[in-house]
Structure 1
Amino acid sequence: MSGKTYHFGTFVLDRIIYVVTFLVCALILILVISLDVGKVSTGNIIYMFILASFFSLLALVIDYLRQSSFLKQLNRMRQSAYGAELESVLALEEGATYEQNAFRYILESQYRLYMDKLNEQRLIVDGRNLFINQWVHQMKTPVSVIDLLVQQSDQMETVDETGRLLLSVQEENERLAHGLDMMLHQARLEKFEMDVQIKRLDVKELLRFVINGHKQALVRSSIFPQISGPNVYVETDEKWLIFVCSQLVSNAIKYSKIKPGSKKLYIDIEQTDGGYAIRITDEGIGIPEQDLPRIFDPYFTGENGRKTGESTGMGLYLTHEVCRRLGHPINVTSEQGIGTTFTIVFRNKSIHHFTNNK
Structure 2
Amino acid sequence: MIRDYLIERRSWICLFFVIQILILFVSYLDSAIPLMPLFYIIFLSMLVFSMFLIFRYHKETRFYKSLAEWENNLDLTTIAEPESPFEKMVEQSIVNQSVLLKKEATENLLMLEQEKDELLAWIHEVKTPLTAMHLMIDRLDNEKTRAQLNHEWLRIHLLLDQQLHQRRIPFMENDLYIEETDLKTLLFKEIKMLQSWCMQKGLGFEVDLEVATVLTDAKWLAFMLRQLLTNAVKYSDSSDILIKSYHKNGRNVLDVTDFGRGIDPKDLSRIFDKGFTSTTSHLDQAATGMGLYLTSRIAKPLLITIAVDSRLGEGTTFTLTFPKRNEFVDIAGM
TM-score band, normalised by shorter chain: 0.5 to 0.7
Q: Which residue of 2 aligns with 1:214?
A: 194
Q: 1: CA distance between counterparts of 2:254 and 2:151?
A: 28
Instruction: Give unmatched runs, 5+ long, in structure 1.
Output: 1-62, 87-113, 126-131, 133-142, 147-158, 352-358
CA contact (8 A) 2:241 2:258 kept: yes
Deviation at 1:82, TM superposition (A): 5.7
Give the alignment's Cα RMSD to 1 decimal.
3.6
Q: Which residue of 1 aligns with 2:41?
A: none
Deviation at 1:197, TM superposition (A): 1.3
1:332 matched to 2:308: yes
CA distance 1:65–1:211, shift in 2 (3 Å):
closer
The one of 162, 173, 179 aligned to 2:153 = 173
CA distance 1:79–1:201, shift in 2 (3 Å):
closer
The one of 218, 222, 233 aligned to 1:242 = 222
**TM-score, structure 1 normalization:** 0.55
Deviation at 1:299, TM superposition (A): 1.1
The one of 204, 212, 215 aligned to 1:224 = 204
User: 5 Å matches for 1:191-206?
Assistant: 191-206=171-186
Q: Which residue of 2 aligns with 1:288?
A: 264
Helix, strand or coil at the partner of 2:235:
helix
Q: 1: CA distance between counterparts of 2:186 and 2:174?
A: 22
The one of 288, 300, 309 aligned to 2:276 = 300
Helix, strand or coil at the partner of 1:210:
helix
CA displacement, residues 212-234 of structure 1 (integer Å, 9 cap, x when unaligned): 22111111111110100314322
Helix, strand or coil at the partner of 1:337:
coil
Helix, strand or coil at the partner of 1:268:
strand
CA distance 1:328–1:81, shift in 2 (3 Å):
closer
Q: 1: CA distance between counterparts of 2:157 and 2:234?
A: 15
Q: Which residue of 2 aligns with 1:342?
A: 318
One-letter amino acid of the counterpart of residue 76, structure 1? M
CA contact (8 A) 1:274 1:346 kept: no
Deviation at 1:79, TM superposition (A): 3.2
CA contact (8 A) 2:214 2:252 kept: no
Instruction: Give unmatched runs, 5+ long, in structure 2.
Output: 1-54, 64-82, 113-118, 120-129, 134-139, 328-334
CA distance 1:222–1:307, shift in 2 (3 Å):
farther
Q: 2: CA distance between counterparts of 1:282 and 1:82?
A: 58
CA contact (8 A) 1:274 1:347 kept: no
Helix, strand or coil at the partner of 1:299:
coil
Q: 2: CA distance between counterparts of 1:276 and 1:318?
A: 22
The one of 184, 190, 197 aligned to 2:164 = 184
CA distance 1:251–1:350, shift in 2 (3 Å):
farther
Deviation at 1:206, TM superposition (A): 1.6
Tell me how many residue pairs correspond in the alignment: 224
CA displacement, residues 165-218 of structure 1 (integer Å, 9 cap, x when unaligned): 232222111110000000001001011111211111112222222212211111
Q: 2: CA distance between counterparts of 1:209 and 1:85?
A: 52
Q: 2: CA distance between counterparts of 1:324 and 1:204?
A: 23
Q: Which residue of 2 aligns with 1:265?
A: 241
Helix, strand or coil at the partner of 1:207:
helix
Helix, strand or coil at the partner of 1:340:
strand
CA distance 1:84–1:191, shift in 2 (3 Å):
closer
How many percent identity over aligned positions? 32
Q: Which residue of 2 aligns with 1:164?
A: 144
CA displacement, residues 215-263 of structure 1 (integer Å, 9 cap, x when unaligned): 111111111101003143222100000000111000001111xx3xx31
Deviation at 1:319, TM superposition (A): 0.5
One-letter amino acid of the counterpart of residue 290, structure 2? M
Q: 1: CA distance between counterparts of 2:300 and 2:192?
A: 26
CA displacement, residues 75-129 of structure 1 (integer Å, 9 cap, x when unaligned): 112333466699xxxxxxxxxxxxxxxxxxxxxxxxxxx9xxx9xx9xxx9xxxx
**TM-score, structure 2 normalization:** 0.59
Q: 1: CA distance between counterparts of 2:253 and 2:184?
A: 12
CA contact (8 A) 1:77 1:84 kept: no
Helix, strand or coil at the partner of 1:211:
helix
Q: 1: CA distance between counterparts of 2:198 and 2:182?
A: 23
Deviation at 1:66, TM superposition (A): 6.8
CA distance 1:241–1:64, shift in 2 (3 Å):
same
CA contact (8 A) 2:211 2:246 kept: no
Q: 2: CA distance between counterparts of 1:236 and 1:319?
A: 14
Q: 2: CA distance between counterparts of 1:65 and 1:350?
A: 57
**Structure (1 or 2) with the larger CA radius of gyration:** 1
Q: 1: CA distance between counterparts of 2:59 and 2:326?
A: 62
CA distance 1:203–1:65, shift in 2 (3 Å):
closer
